[in-house]
Structure 1
Amino acid sequence: MKAVILAGGLGTRLSEATHLIPKPMVEIGGKPILWHIMKTYSHYGINEFVICLGYKSYIIKEWFANYFLHSSDVTIDLWDNSIEIHDNHSDHWKVTLIDTGLHTMTAGRVKKIQKYIGEETFLLTYGDGVGDIDIHKSIEHHRKSRRYLTVTAYKPQGKFGSLEMDEKGNVTSFTEKPKGDGMWINAGYFVCEPEFFDYLDGDNMMLEKKPLETLAKENQMTSYIHDGFWKPMDTLKDNNELNDMWNSGNAPWKLWD
């Protein structure tokens, strides 16, 4: 089974970093967030990836082309241009990198990689969110549902502390970061049947608009409930928080050894 990762957006809300590199290449603990997402899938035996590129696609291509240099000690002989790899720490991944266009929307990007998937079930997620998602359980839930698409549903925490007060204004209870407004959100980490491609059309189509809305109306979409950790990296603050978790040894999404 292949995992498709959307990695082509402009990442404008993280412009402090993305004016130089694509958002999926912004680092957590010295590794791109894209690598962290792939390690999550790899932990569950998913080692074949199709990555939808767009903005500054050559940076992602060059990073994977030089993966040995990023992950292993090497000896480079400048005389004959040979490289000797020492203590190979690379991953057993097969990565297909497809330039899906600079301004293509999310559904259009997925449609462009259809021929690399064929007629098999595949996984799909965004290139900017990490979590301790149980990929095996999401696949199992998807197969039991017999729907075209499964989306991982997550209920985020609120951003502010919640107060309860009596009629005199005295605080009777305080909860730091309660469970938001109670709404479930799309956390990505989809499981898709090949029929999903039939709902995608055109470079200007957003995955989150007509395709998902239509699937829901036709009762062809189900949800896998995730009540563990999940966090998107939308802003510099998010990136700093994820780095703090990683550097403190408390990164809940790190399922691998």
Structure 2
Amino acid sequence: MKTVILCGGLGTRLAEETQLRPKPMVEVGGRPILWHIMKIYERFGMNDFVLALGYKGEFIKDYFLNYHPRMSDLTIHLKSGQVDYNNPTAEDWRVSLIDTGANTMTGGRLLRLKLQLESGGTFMLTYGDGVADVDISALLAFHRSHGRLATVTAVRPVVRFGELTVNGGQVINFHEKPQAAEGWINGGFFVFEPEVFDFIEGDATLLEREPLEKMAQAGQLMAYHHPGYWQCMDTIRDRQALEDLWGTGKAPWQESNT
């Protein structure tokens, strides 16, 4: 099964980092967040990735073109130019890097992958900036159980500031950065059937607008509720929070920091 990762956005809210590289290449623990996302899927046997590139996509191409040498010991025969790769530790992934346009919207990026995806049946899709401890196998089982065209993972993020319960000016309860008690949001980690392409018009289509709205109206969109850990890397503060978690050796989106 193929897993699509949307990697083409401008990442303007993380401009301190994305002026130099695309958002999926911003590092957490010395690895691009894109790598962390791919490792989540790998844990559940998913190793066939399609990366929808756009803004500064050449950085992502260069990263994967040089990944095998970077993860190997090298013996270089200077006269012939031959290189022997020894003890490679690279993951067993198939990675397709597809240019989907610099200014294409999320739905348009998916539509541009139609030829790569429509004949392969069910596929997964997520954003190139969010990690979670979501159970991908359970997500897929849920999708197959309901028989609809699309499943979105619904999450409840940690609120950015402390939450107050106030009665008549008196603070009854104070919770420092709790998980939102209400209001599930789109956390990515979608599962789609190929018929979703019928809901996308072109490059200017936002996946989160007309396609998902129309699928919901048609009763073809279901939500897999994930009450566990989820974090989107939108700001420098978010990146630092992920970095701090990784530094503990107990990052919730991975079984072990490898």
Distance in 1 separating the partners of 2:158 and 2:228: 12
- Amino acid paired to 1:237: R
How far is the alpha carbon of 1:166 from its aligned partner? 5.8
Q: Which residue of 2 aligns with 1:215?
A: 215
Matches within 5 A, 1:15-26: 15-26=15-26
- Amino acid paired to 2:152: V
What CA deviation, in whole Å up to 9, does each residue of 1:26-69 have, x standing for no partner?
11111111111111111100110111001111111111111113
- SS class of match (1:228): coil
Q: Which residue of 2 aligns with 1:150?
A: 151
How far is the alpha carbon of 1:181 from its aligned partner? 5.9
Distance in 2 separating the partners of 1:236 and 1:78: 43
How far is the alpha carbon of 1:167 from its aligned partner? 4.9
- SS class of match (1:14): helix
- Call closer, same or farther: CA 1:62–1:174 in 2, change over 3 Å: same
Q: Which residue of 1 aligns with 2:253?
A: 253
Q: Which residue of 2 aligns with 1:117?
A: 117
Structure 2: unaligned runs, 5 residues or longer: none
How far is the alpha carbon of 1:182 from its aligned partner? 1.0
Q: Which residue of 1 aligns with 2:137?
A: 136
TM-score scaled by structure 2?
0.94
- Call closer, same or farther: CA 1:176–1:76 in 2, change over 3 Å: same
- Amino acid paired to 1:249: G
Matches within 5 A, 1:96-245: 96-119=96-119, 120-164=121-165, 167=168, 169=170, 171-180=171-180, 182-245=182-245
What CA deviation, in whole Å up to 9, does each residue of 1:10-29 have, x standing for no partner?
11111111111110001111
User: RMSD of the TM alignment (CA)?
Assistant: 1.5
How far is the alpha carbon of 1:118 from its aligned partner? 2.6
Query: What is the number of equivalent residue pairs in this alignment?
Result: 256
Distance in 2 separating the partners of 1:105 and 1:30: 29
Q: Are residues 1:37 and 2:37 paired?
A: yes
Distance in 2 separating the partners of 1:156 and 1:96: 31
- SS class of match (1:198): helix
- Call closer, same or farther: CA 1:167–1:206 in 2, change over 3 Å: closer
- Amino acid paired to 1:41: Y
What CA deviation, in whole Å up to 9, does each residue of 1:107-153 have, x standing for no partner?
00000011111331000000000111111000000001111000000
Distance in 1 separating the partners of 2:113 and 2:211: 16
Q: Which residue of 1 aligns with 2:11?
A: 11
- Call closer, same or farther: CA 1:24–1:167 in 2, change over 3 Å: closer
Distance in 2 separating the partners of 1:165 and 1:212: 36
- Amino acid paired to 1:53: L
Kindly indicate whether the alpha-carbon contact (under 8 Å) linking 1:159 and 1:180 is maintained by their aligned counterparts in 2: no
Distance in 1 separating the partners of 2:60 and 2:167: 55
Structure 1: unaligned runs, 5 residues or longer: none
- SS class of match (1:109): helix
- Call closer, same or farther: CA 1:145–1:166 in 2, change over 3 Å: closer
Q: Percent identity?
A: 49
Kindly indicate whether the alpha-carbon contact (under 8 Å) linking 1:40 and 1:255 is maintained by their aligned counterparts in 2: no
